[in-house]
Amino acid sequence: MINLLLSLLIIISCSVANKPVMAADVPTFEGSIGAPGPRQLPTQGNKFNKFMLKHRGKIVYLFVFLDEEQRRDFAAGLAKPDEYNRIIFTVSDDYLKKPTDSTGCEYLIHLPAKARDYKFEYLKQAGRLSGYFKIWDINGPRQGYMSINLRAVAKPGCVSP
């Protein structure tokens, strides 16, 4: 009986009303990271990139919205990951600069070997990516872009099903 109650407590604490329960010590980034809309700064991508670079080697929680180009890249990667089983998309530091003068980061989400056992959520229509990710490696720059390697992980402190 006590084991059952403990199991229920863990399940409830890991998800309440379909909203993630934030771990107090996990850095979080929320917002749009792609080409800006009418009321967004063209440098929002730079804020995201700096956040990710600052937290190298850590687990972060992301609740981000992708632009149209990022959505296409992400959807293509979900349908058919590259030869290393990754989804790749880029985030420019400043969307007002010409592509040839641009800097930013490319994000490589390494997928698990077990098909469709993803620990992140992607809502295609909204272009929303959310979940906990371990930033496990950063390389570069190459042609002005850093490569940030991510792995989706279960919420810290929760038992993965």
What is the domain partition of the chain in residue ranges?
23-153
Please list the residues that pair with 138 across neighbouring strands.
Answer: 148
Summarize the confidence of residues 41-69 as an average pLDDT.
Answer: 94
| Cβ-contact 50, 128 below 8 angstroms | no
Q: What amino acid occupies position 113?
A: A
pLDDT at position 5 is 34
Among 106, 127, 122, 160, which residue's Cα sits nearest to residue 32?
Answer: 127
How far from chain centre, in Å, is Cα 4? 33
Residue 3 confidence (pLDDT) above 60: no
| pLDDT tens sequence across 107-146 | 999 998 876 667 899 999 899 999 999 999 999 998 889 9
* Mean pLDDT confidence for 2-20: 40
How far apart are alpha carbons 104 and 50 in whole angstroms? Answer: 9
Say what the pTM is.
0.79
Say which residues have a Cβ less than 8 Å from residue 71's Cβ, sequence separation at least 6: 124, 127
> pLDDT class for 91, splitting at 50, 70, 90?
very high
What does each C-alpha distance from 48 to 4, 34, 57, 116 come to in angstroms? 41, 10, 16, 26
pLDDT at 116: 67
DSSP helix/strand/coil, 108: strand
Residue 82 to residue 88: CA distance in whole angstroms: 8
Looking at every residue in the chain, the average pLDDT score rounds to: 82
Mean pLDDT of 73-80: 92
Q: pLDDT band at residue 22, thresholds of 50, 70 and 90?
A: low
